[in-house]
Amino acid sequence: MATAALARSQSNVSEIHAAFKREFSPAGEHENFLVEQMANARWRLLRFERLEQFYFERDSAIPLNPNHPEEKLLAGLERSRDGVLAALARFIGAAQRSYYKAHRELAESRAGQARQTRTAQDKEIRRLFLASNSRAPQTRAPEHRQPAQPSERILPLPNADLYCKLCVQSQWESLH
């Protein structure tokens, strides 16, 4: 009976791991570790909640069977100084904290990677802008002509942000 319960337990762990890998698609060893931590914590949380439910549903007049895996665990917890419910509450809390800590670290890791990617993209855009700006011919508008439209001007990089803000502001004003 214990072997069947262990096999069922291992199958649940494998299912949870597979589901988490599909959902979070870890990239790299560190993310894989964090996803495994989350899956293990989720499995422990499910197991402790199942034990808690079993404890409430069982008939307390019948002694615990030491051959049944859940009852064996509960018997061990009954001998603890805190009692079954306090120990289960502590285990559930620890599993929840473990899950949320790994989830938070995974999210922070991915946010850091996204920041690095954006920084690299920004550097490349600036490099390309400076390169195209240095090769573009600088022409003056003839005296009789209206000043060039903002879109026709070639602005140095420091004014590019201001230029974008002015374009957005003028578009906003034209709409309202």
Show me where the domains of the chain are located: 2-130
The HSE-up count of residue 47 (CA atoms within 13 Å, CB side) is 23
Q: Residues in the chain with pLDDT < 70?
A: 1-10, 133-176
Contact predicate 138/154, CB 8 Å? yes
Task: Taking each helix axis as running N to C, give the angle between helix 84-135 and helix 29-57, from 0 to 180 degrees, rounded to the nearest 10.
Answer: 150
pLDDT of residue 69: 79
Query: Model pTM?
Result: 0.60
pLDDT of residue 170: 58
List the structure tokens of 14: 């494998």
pLDDT of residue 22: 94
pLDDT of residue 1: 39
Nearest CA among 76, 35, 38, 36 for reference residue 55: 76
Contact predicate 51/73, CB 8 Å? yes
